[in-house]
């Protein structure tokens, strides 16, 4: 029986066409492929399989299959890019929508893995996989609309000689000389094990593309962080007269040490100030749009970042301090038009000047950055009285 005469070799893959996604296959209906039986071992199960090599388009690079069809069908992924076959999403992101107990696990031991692969290979079409669930596919379809596959991964590799300024091929160079971004430069760094990255992507761990998509999803749903890095205060809206500091601390203390809590029952709001910015970020990522006081689903609270004093004319910065000091000097001199001018009143025969106290209205108070409630000023604007002394 030739090369497949052994018992183990009987399970080696032989096929006439690969399992590919539309992005990797390309839009050319007359694509040409080369076929090599048992040319490489699968990066996952380490069994020899049939390798296909082709070019998706005129401006694309040559691509080849990296894993066998048995592993690709078990995970419902493309043999080349290892993304989901239907929606083009990373496995790490897709498996978040799937019950982990329903995912087929592969044995890690080499002997058990060979026996398991040979057994599964003949029953692959009969195994019920969780990737065809209607609810799962609906959620993945919504996710794919925003973070679907990109044909950029078919572009040629970056020319390392061009990056160093040494390429002399010009337009004849088969590698890329343009549209180079930070991701391309990062991939050129030495010490990156390609086989390890393929295995991580297949098993859904440490995938940088999945992490970027998750981060983009978080940023799209979370409120924008204030530019001032010193802000660590959160605004809590929707409280009532029965809300206490202990209740707020009970829900928000797990994310970091709390510096102070200020309740403003008249405005039905509160301010929670953390010692560190990272604690405030962790709290708003965990509780935004799902903050229920003491797990009471009927009492949902609003959680936002507190305003920074940088948003006011008198900022909590070096430039803002100068403006604050300059404003106070102007008020002393009486040059500000909003302050009533000094009036000299003659008393009796002696022309004794009496200076009337300047009246500062609420608009001027806002410009200077002064808050009537000192405690509220410290919490809401991260304001420190020592700034005025400086």
Among residues 152, 187, 216, the one where a domain terminates is 152
Residues 305 and 324 in one domain: no
Residues 34 and 140 in one domain: yes
Residues 362 and 253 in one domain: no
Question: In whole angstroms, what is the distance from residue 88 CA to residue 78 CA?
Answer: 9
Number of domains in the chain: 3
The answer to the question of residue 196 being in a domain is: no
Among residues 152, 182, 208, the one where a domain terminates is 152
pLDDT given at position 55: 92
The answer to the question of residue 44 being in a domain is: yes
> Which residues 6+ apart lie within 8 Å of 318 measured at CB?
none
Residues 292 and 332 in one domain: no
Residues 292 and 343 in one domain: no
H helical segments located in 95-244: 110-121, 134-147, 160-163, 182-187, 194-203, 208-221
Q: What is the DSSP letter of 356?
A: P
The answer to the question of residue 90 being in a domain is: yes
pLDDT given at position 49: 92
Question: In whole angstroms, what is the distance from residue 323 CA to residue 327 CA?
Answer: 6
pTM for the structure as a whole: 0.59
Residues 34 and 106 in one domain: yes
If 0-12 CB within 10 Å is exposed, 13-18 middle and 19+ buried, where does residue 40 land? middle
Q: What is the chain's pLDDT, residue by residue, as a tens digit (390 residues)?
A: 345 555 555 567 788 999 999 999 988 888 899 999 989 999 988 889 999 999 998 888 899 999 999 899 989 999 999 999 989 999 998 888 887 777 877 777 777 777 787 778 777 777 778 888 887 888 888 888 888 777 788 888 888 898 888 999 988 898 888 878 777 777 667 666 888 889 999 988 888 888 888 888 777 778 888 888 889 999 999 888 888 899 899 889 999 999 999 999 899 999 999 999 999 999 988 888 888 877 666 678 889 998 754 444 444 444 444 444 544 454 444 444 444 444 434 444 444 444 444 444 444 444 444 444 555 455 554 545 554 444
pLDDT given at position 274: 93
Among residues 264, 294, 309, the one where a domain terminates is 309
Residues 70 and 119 in one domain: yes
The answer to the question of residue 121 being in a domain is: yes
Which structural domain, as residue segments, surrounds residue 22? 2-152
Residues 55 and 105 in one domain: yes
State the first-to-last Cα distance of the chain, in angstroms, to the nearest integer: 91
pLDDT given at position 35: 94
The answer to the question of residue 274 being in a domain is: yes
The answer to the question of residue 388 being in a domain is: no
pLDDT given at position 54: 94
Q: Provide the b/e sequence for 20-33 (b: ≥16 CB within 10 Å).
A: bbebbbbeeeeeee
Residues 267 and 336 in one domain: no
The answer to the question of residue 145 being in a domain is: yes
Strand segments, DSSP code E, in the chain are 33-41, 48-54, 63-64, 233-237, 258-264, 269-274, 291-292, 300-305
Residues 334 and 353 in one domain: yes
Residues 352 and 244 in one domain: no
CATH number, domain of 261, equals 3.30.70.330
The answer to the question of residue 357 being in a domain is: yes
Residues 11 and 147 in one domain: yes
**What count of other Cβ atoms lies within 10 Å of the Cβ of residue 335?**
10
């Amino acid at each position: 029986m030739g090369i497949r005469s052994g018992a183990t070799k009987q399970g080696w893959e032989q096929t006439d066409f690969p399992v590919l996604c539309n992005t990797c296959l390309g839009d050319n209906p007359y694509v040409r492929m080369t076929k090599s039986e048992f040319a490489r071992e699968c990066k996952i199960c380490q069994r020899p399989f049939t390798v296909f090599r082709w070019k998706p388009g005129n401006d694309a690079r040559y691509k080849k299959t990296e894993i066998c069809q048995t592993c690709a069908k078990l995970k419902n992924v493309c043999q080349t890019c290892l993304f989901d076959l239907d929606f083009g999403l990373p496995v790490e992101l897709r498996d978040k929508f799937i019950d982990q107990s329903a995912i087929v696990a592969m044995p890690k031991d080499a002997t058990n893995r060979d026996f398991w692969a040979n057994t599964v290979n003949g029953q692959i079409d009969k195994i019920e996989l969780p990737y065809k669930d209607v609810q799962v596919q609906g959620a993945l379809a919504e996710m794919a609309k925003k973070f679907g596959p990109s044909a950029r991964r078919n572009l040629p590799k970056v020319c390392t000689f061009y990056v160093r300024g040494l390429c002399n091929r010009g337009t004849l160079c088969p590698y890329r000389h343009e549209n180079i971004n930070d991701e391309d430069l990062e991939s050129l760094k030495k010490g990156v094990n390609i086989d390890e990255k393929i295995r991580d992507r297949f098993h859904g761990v440490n995938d940088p593309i999945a992490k970027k998509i998750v981060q983009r999803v978080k940023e799209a749903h979370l409120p924008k962080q204030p530019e001032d890095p010193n802000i660590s205060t959160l605004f809590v809206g929707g409280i009532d007269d029965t809300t206490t500091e202990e209740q707020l601390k009970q829900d928000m203390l797990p994310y970091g040490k709390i510096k102070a809590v200020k309740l403003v029952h008249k405005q039905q709001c509160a301010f929670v100030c953390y010692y560190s910015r990272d604690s405030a970020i962790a709290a708003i990522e965990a509780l935004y749009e799902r903050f229920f006081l003491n797990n009471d689903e009927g009492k949902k609270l609003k959680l936002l970042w507190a305003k920074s004093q940088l948003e006011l004319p008198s900022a909590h910065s070096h430039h803002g301090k100068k403006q604050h000091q300059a404003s106070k000097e102007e008020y002393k001199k009486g040059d500000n038009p909003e302050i009533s001018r000094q009036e000299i009143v003659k008393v009796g025969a002696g022309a004794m000047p009496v200076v009337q106290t300047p009246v500062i209205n609420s608009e001027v108070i806002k410009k200077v950055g002064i808050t009537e409630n000192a405690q509220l000023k410290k919490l809401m604007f991260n304001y420190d009285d020592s700034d005025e002394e400086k």
